[in-house]
Amino acid sequence: MTATATEHVFTLPDLGEGLVEAELVSWLVQPGDRIAVDAPIAEVETAKATVEVPSPFAGVVITLHTEAGTTVAVGAPLITVGEPAAATYVEEERAGSGNVLVGYGTSAERPGRRRRPGTRPAPAAPSGERPRIASPIVRRLVRDAGLDPAQLSGTGPGGLIVRADVERAIASRVAPTSSGVERRTGLPEARRVPLTGVRGAIAATLSRSRSEIPEATTWVDVDATGLLAVREQMGRDGWRPGVLALLARFVVAGLQRYPELNARVDTDAGEVVHLDGVNLGIAAQTPQGLLVPAIRDAHRRSIRDLDTEIRRLTAAANAGTATAAELSCGSFTLNNYGRFGVDGSAAIINHPEVAILGIGRLIPRPWVVDGEIVARTVGQLSLVFDHRVCDGGTAGGFLRYVADAVENPLAALADT
């Protein structure tokens, strides 16, 4: 790794989670900057999230070996650092522990966050210069839309370009961003969106799911009137559980009774691997796309704990601060697509899981109770499952268990 007696080349470290490359979103240093050990030098976007890469060397940045926006393989050179004294190298990086990737989000200074010693603060853009773009999400929007940052007006602090600035520029644009013509339709191409980073990872996962998993879907309408009433009764000390937390409790109990749906298919060994415990994934629509952070050991948590984790993980996914481990450890996924105002969905299984349960919107509908038609709050549960791990009887049994728990929540909570 040493170029000369006083220069050291730092390569992109092992990213963990089986990742072999990352897109370099932005440089946090420039040639001539003096940096300390563990100072963040770049933001990279993996298939899981955006992370900062810290330097294992102290010294002066001599060379940046690649440009922002390019894809870098693990082991490829990132920067060359010159040191006036003996090299200081972090042993964890030498061992490839994967702990060198720290933090999430943007390179902008955030309230309460101290800048690491040895790094220079990002200067505000002087009048007449190109406004700065700190957020990787905003940078991605600018690139995908084919916009020139120099033509954008930043309304953030110090001329910072924020997401609203980019969205306004996109909305006001009338000319297509590409002169190409789509061959089949003959229509002009408005723009091209690269399938890279998180978007590419989503595409790869869903494509693999559809190509490998023989999936089937089953669904049932449920009367959630009693569930909502119990939820109101549970409220105390300023806290009331979300409907998703209650449903999560029922799902975990159902998976303990039907473990075939909390499993993996080992195609190489020709085996179905049942898992001991549940890491419950919560599908979240975020600015980066569909992410599924998971509640670890959901089978050991109370309703309050489940509710707290659902809120925390959803907020972290939306802010881009969910960790790679949180985004890749799920064993079963719960999907609340009702928040989009739809009743049902034949969702795609989050590979390598074997099932996903979704809930549609809860709305007043006519329902027969004791022979009378009355207004009740009704929603639809749908289960998509891998037909390799079980047949319809097992899938139907699980779905019916969850549905019965929704319709008779007090009895279900007493049993779980």
Same-domain pairing of 254 and 133: no
- 36 CA to centre of own chain: 31
Same-domain pairing of 265 and 314: yes
Give domain status of residue 55, yes or no: yes
Q: Which two tokens stand for residue 25?
A: 């979103």
Give domain status of residue 188, yes or no: yes
Q: What is the pTM of this model?
A: 0.64
Q: Which of 160, 194, 228 is the last residue of a domain?
A: 194
H/E stretch holding 218: strand 215-223
Same-domain pairing of 307 and 393: yes
Angle value at C-alpha 136, between 107 and 309, nearest 5 degrees: 85
- Give the pLDDT of residue 348: 95
Q: Which of 60, 75, 104 is the last residue of a domain?
A: 104
Question: Which of 355, 7, 18 lies closest to 209, judged by CA?
Answer: 355
Give domain status of residue 305, yes or no: yes
pLDDT, one tens digit for every residue, the chain (416 residues): 444 457 889 998 877 656 778 888 889 999 988 998 888 898 888 766 677 888 888 899 999 999 888 888 888 999 999 865 434 444 434 434 333 343 333 333 333 333 444 444 444 444 444 456 766 667 777 877 778 888 888 887 677 787 778 878 877 764 444 557 888 888 888 888 777 777 788 888 889 999 999 999 999 999 999 999 999 999 878 889 999 999 999 999 999 999 999 999 999 999 999 999 999 999 999 988 899 999 999 999 999 999 999 999 999 999 888 988 899 999 999 999 999 999 999 999 999 999 999 999 999 999 999 999 999 999 999 999 999 999 999 999 999 999 999 999 999 998 87
Give domain status of residue 111, yes or no: no
Question: Which positions ≥6 away from 135 have C-beta within 8 Å?
Answer: 106, 108, 162, 163
What's the CATH code of the domain at 23? Answer: 2.40.50.100
- Give the pLDDT of residue 121: 41
**Residue 87 backbone zone (phi > 0: left; psi -120 to 50: alpha; other: beta):** beta
Give domain status of residue 65, yes or no: yes
CB count within 10 Å of CB 347 equals 21
Q: Which of 48, 77, 104 is the last residue of a domain?
A: 104
Sign of the alpha-carbon torsion through 233, 235, 236, 238: negative
- Give the pLDDT of residue 39: 86
Same-domain pairing of 270 and 362: yes
Give domain status of residue 2, yes or no: no
Same-domain pairing of 182 and 258: no
b/e burial code for range 308-334 (CB count within 10 A of at least 16 → b): bbbeebbebbeebebbbebbbbbbbbb
- 325 CA to centre of own chain: 10
Residue 74 in contact with residue 47, Cβ under 8 Å? Answer: no
Same-domain pairing of 152 and 186: yes
Same-domain pairing of 190 and 82: no
Give domain status of residue 204, yes or no: no
Amino acid sitting at position 8: H
The count of structural domains within the chain is: 3
Name the residue range of residue 43's domain: 7-104
Question: Which positions ≥6 away from 287 have C-beta within 8 Å?
Answer: 137, 163, 318, 320
Same-domain pairing of 181 and 224: no
- Give the pLDDT of residue 6: 77
Distance of alpha carbon 172 from alpha carbon 218, whole angstroms? 44
Question: Which positions ≥6 away from 134 have C-beta within 8 Å?
Answer: 106, 107, 108, 122, 160
What's the CATH code of the domain at 237? Answer: 3.30.559.10
What length does the chain have? 416
Question: Which of 398, 156, 81 lies closest to 263, judged by CA?
Answer: 398
Same-domain pairing of 249 and 132: no
Question: Which of 166, 100, 96 lies closest to 131, judged by CA?
Answer: 166
Distance of alpha carbon 180 from alpha carbon 158, whole angstroms? 37
Same-domain pairing of 218 and 306: yes
Amino acid sitting at position 396: G
- Give the pLDDT of residue 94: 42
- By CB atoms closer than 10 A (0-12, 13-18, 19+), residue 23 is buried
Same-domain pairing of 364 and 260: yes
Same-domain pairing of 100 and 127: no
Distance of alpha carbon 160 from alpha carbon 125, whole angstroms? 8
Active site residues: 387
Give domain status of residue 199, yes or no: no
